[in-house]
Structure 1
Amino acid sequence: MDFKRINYSSGAPLEDKAGYSRIVKVGPFVYVGGTTSVQPDGTVFGEGDPYAQTKYVLEKLLKLMAEAGSKASEVVRVKVYATDMSHCGEIVRAYSEFFKEIRPLCTVVGTSGLNRPTQLVEIELDAIIGAAI
């Protein structure tokens, strides 16, 4: 099969500066790069609140995925990076609001830090268009 590649941007200035895409779609496969709770004005949403940051990031990602023709029910893998593993309960609480019934693969990894000290969570998603349950 010959799949066409389409790159999508979230509009974040760093994407052009560093040379990366927020989403890459290849045929029915949708790959969403690591995304944090940085708002369009450059501030971090939900400072100090892992639940609020997780929810904000997932809402942001699903909106971007819709632009690529995908939806939450087609997500097959989620990778979460947390700066403090004691936040897992709050991260999972927000995550389950989106994926409890869909049940994609999920990995939560502890990391010593993200781009900004106020960022607590970074999330990646993989989806396959047409794989909805």
Structure 2
Amino acid sequence: MKRVNLSSGAKWESIVGYSRAVKIGDTIEVSGTVSTDHSGEIVGEGDEYLQTRFILMKLENTLGQLGAKLENVVRTRIYCTNIKNWEKIGKAHGEVFGEIRPVTSMIEVSNLIDDKYLVEIEATAVL
């Protein structure tokens, strides 16, 4: 099967050895995504809801580059630094995926790579 690696251009990709997303056959896996814009600035600092919305917008853009839509998402994995704020994260996720309803997990972690990141999301899509 043909493999397509999609790069975001982030410096971390070559250091860590990963791709923004990988498409093999009809499956797309999207790496953990945090709430940073193209200039590397954090969007929604201190706000789980805003970070989640921005992350999901980035995921939609990444999927689009590989010929997929949000409707193709079958799984999301949500990592957060404070599970007590799950409702803010869940609200944003539900606004995007309420009709699509992929399987998901929401997992509290002690830290993400930067303390300002409150949420990180991975996704799997099938065309």
Q: Find the counterpart in structure 1 of residue 64 from structure 2.
A: 66
Matches of 1:116 and 1:97, distance apart in 2: 26
Q: Is the 8 A contact 1:12 1:40 kept in 2?
A: no
Q: Is the 8 A contact 1:78 1:107 kept in 2?
A: yes
Q: After the TM superposition, which segments of 4 or more aligned residues of structure 1 sit over 6 Å from their partners? A: none
Structure 2 portions without partners, runs of 5+: none
Please, what is the CA RMSD of the aligned residues? Answer: 0.8
Letter in 1 for 2:18: Y
Check if 1:39 corresponds to 2:47.
no
Aligned residues: 127
Identity over aligned residues, as a percent?
42
Query: Residue deviations 1:81-124, cap 9 Å, x none?
Result: 00000111000110011100111001000000101001000000
Q: How high is the TM-score relative to the length of structure 2? A: 0.97
Matches of 1:18 and 1:111, distance apart in 2: 20
Q: How high is the TM-score relative to the length of structure 1? A: 0.93
Matches of 1:4 and 1:82, distance apart in 2: 33
Matches of 1:33 and 1:60, distance apart in 2: 11
Shift in Å, 1:18: 2.1
Q: Is the 8 A contact 1:10 1:22 kept in 2?
A: yes
